[in-house]
Chains A and B, each alone.
Chain A
């Protein structure tokens, strides 16, 4: 079964994404911050990570560094965040090897489902190559 890891410090967001992903037939694993995520990720080996950008503790760049150290930088990550970036910054984020999409909160559940499905498909990799 396809495994999705949901990393968000907001319990409401974690639970709503969990319900949505399970409705779509995915197996879900939760983490409430970056530390918990990096502690679990090797064991879980998720197919996709839904990652909040701004959480207490490890920053996004620190999380990406930890993944690189563990040679897990090919892991697909979709950022889900309240943070608004400039167009140039979005391009910079998307150039990171792990990050395949960027969804802003508040999100539309139908849109999230579609984008998760797309991120999991080979379509994204083809677009990036």
Chain B
């Protein structure tokens, strides 16, 4: 919940490592955890401009509908040759007209009912699309939705780490919704994006 005295005046992108983010992105990592404080998709998309370009990307969404995010999946955020496949786990439960529909590169599915079902979804994506990146938006919502921790989380990360498919996993994590600890033990890199909060002062 928000309860701040000031106003949001800027978005700070990992201020301390801004100069290094390009080199971090090309390092040999498999799982990257990107934590943020309820940033909107437009604010998060700036991160993706730092990644090496990829031809096929899968975006699994538990927090934003395909219609909401689709307008951003183009230049300058993604390379013009990149194709982003959205697996929308939200819309089907809200809008009846999305039932059994596939719209362009959007696929509508019900949210996974367990960590194993999420693994199945990722497995199918790897098999059918052969993506270079899979972005999960968000791990925090998945954990809240499934009330999963402990062994379930360990198995999930074990699964990701043992895919050997050449695909990298980017897990978004919204700190402001999550009531559980960030599962930082299982990832290669953690980056944090946060809004810079400061008090606005009036000047004559």
Contacts and interface: CB of A to CB of B under 8 A. Distances in A.
Given A10-B179, A84-B64, A86-B65, A56 B3 contact: no
B30 interface: no
Contacts, number: 78
Interface of B: 1-3, 38, 40-41, 62-65, 67-69, 90-96, 110-111, 113, 141, 144-147, 174, 176-177, 179
A85 B146 CA distance: 22
A108 B63 contact: no
B63 A82 contact: yes
Given A10-B179, A54-B145, A60 B63 contact: no
Interface stretch (A22-30, A87-95, A115-123): A87-95
Interface in A60-117: 60-62, 82-86, 88-89, 92-93, 105-109
A106 B40 contact: no
A57 to B, nearest CB: 9
A53 B3 CA distance: 23
Given A59-B94, A106-B2, 6 more contacts: A10-B179, A61-B93, A82-B174, A84-B68, A86-B65, A106-B176
Given A56-B146, A92-B95, A105-B177, A83 B1 contact: no
Nearest to B70: A86
A8 to B, nearest CB: 10
- 10 nearest A-B pairs in the assembled complex, by CB-CB distance: A59-B93, A86-B67, A84-B64, A86-B68, A106-B176, A60-B94, A108-B2, A84-B68, A106-B1, A61-B96
Interface of A: 9-10, 12, 16, 53-56, 59-62, 82-86, 88-89, 92-93, 105-109
A59 B93 CA distance: 5
22 contacts: A9-B144, A9-B147, A53-B90, A53-B93, A54-B62, A54-B93, A59-B92, A61-B94, A82-B63, A82-B141, A82-B174, A84-B64, A84-B65, A84-B69, A86-B65, A86-B68, A88-B67, A89-B68, A92-B95, A106-B1, A106-B177, A107-B2
A93 B94 contact: yes
A107 B1 contact: yes
A107 B2 CA distance: 6
B183 to A, nearest CB: 18
Nearest to B90: A83
B67 A89 contact: yes
Nearest to B176: A106
A7 B1 CA distance: 17
A65 to B, nearest CB: 9
A109 B141 CA distance: 21
B180 to A, nearest CB: 11
A74 B40 CA distance: 32
B106 to A, nearest CB: 12
B44 to A, nearest CB: 11
B82 to A, nearest CB: 21
